[in-house]
Amino acid sequence: MIVEFFRPGNSLLHRLDPRPKLLFLVVVLIAFFVPSTTWVLLLFTAAIVAVVAFFLGPAQLLPPLKSLWPILLLIFLLTPPFHFGGQPIIRILGATLVTSEGLDTTLVMLLRFIGITFGFFAVVRTVALDDMVLSLRWFGLPYAACLVMTITLRTIPSLGAAWHNVMDAHRLRSGLVESRRRRIVETYLPVLTSVLIEAVKGIPVLAMALESRGFGRRNPRTSYAELKRGRALAADMLVLAAASAALLWPAFIRW
Partner 1 sequence: MPGDRLLEGLSLTVPRGGRTFLFGRADAGKSTLARIVAGLVPRFTGGALSGRISLDGRDIRSSPPYELMQSMGLVAQDSEEQLLTTRCDTEVAFALESLGLPRAEMRERVGASLEKVGLADFADRNPATLSGGEKKRLLVACLHAIRPGLWVLDEALGELDFEWKTRVLDIIAETGGTALLMESRWSGLAALRGTSYFLLDEGRKRAAAKDSQEPAFLAALTNAGIRQGEPLEPRRPQRKGFLRMEGLGFRFDASTGFTLDIESLELQFGETCALVGRNGSGKSTLGRLLCGLLRPQTGTIGIRGEQGYRKLRPDELCAKVGYLFQNPDHQIYLPSVREELSLGLHRQRAERREIEPRVQEAARIFGLPDLAAPPALLSYGARRRLQAATYFLLPRDLLILDEIDSGLSYREVESLINALASRVPGIVLITHDMVLARAACDRILVMEEGRITGDARRGRFESVGAGGQAETT
The total of other beta-carbon atoms located within 10 Å of residue 64's CB is 20
Report the distance separating Cα 151 and Cα 144, nearest Å: 11
Name the residue nearer to partner 1 (CB basis): 96 or 150.
150
Asked if 94 touches partner 1 (CB under 8 A), the answer is: no
Q: What mask, x for binding partner 1 by CB under 8 A, covers residues 183 to 212? A: -------xx-xx--xx--xx-xxxxxxxxx
> Please, what is the minimum distance in Å from the beta carbon of residue 229 to partner 1?
12
> Please, what is the minimum distance in Å from the beta carbon of residue 41 to partner 1?
35
Asked if 166 touches partner 1 (CB under 8 A), the answer is: yes
- Exactly one of 30, 46, 169, 232 binds partner 1 (CB under 8 A); that residue is 169
Within 13 Å and on the Cβ side, how many CA atoms surround 188?
A: 6
> Please, what is the minimum distance in Å from the beta carbon of residue 176 to partner 1?
7
Residue 113 CB contacts under 8 Å (≥ 6 apart), including other chains: 68, 71, 72, 75
Asked if 3 touches partner 1 (CB under 8 A), the answer is: yes
Asked if 10 touches partner 1 (CB under 8 A), the answer is: no
| Total residues in contact with partner 1, by rule CB under 8 A | 56
Give yes or no for a contact between 1 and 119, defined as CB atoms under 8 angstroms apart: no
Name the residue nearer to partner 1 (CB basis): 30 or 209.
209
Which region among 47-55, 175-183, 233-241, 244-252 touches partner 1 (by CB under 8 A)? 175-183
Q: What mask, x for binding partner 1 by CB under 8 A, covers residues 64 to 93? A: ------------------------------
Which region among 21-29, 98-106, 162-170, 230-238 touches partner 1 (by CB under 8 A)? 162-170
Asked if 151 touches partner 1 (CB under 8 A), the answer is: yes
Residue 49 CB contacts under 8 Å (≥ 6 apart), including other chains: 61, 114, 115, 118
Report the distance separating Cα 47 and Cα 50, nearest Å: 5
Name the site residues for partner 1 (rule: CB under 8 A).
3, 8, 128-130, 150-151, 153-154, 157-158, 161-162, 165-166, 168-178, 190-191, 193-194, 197-198, 201-202, 204-217, 219-226
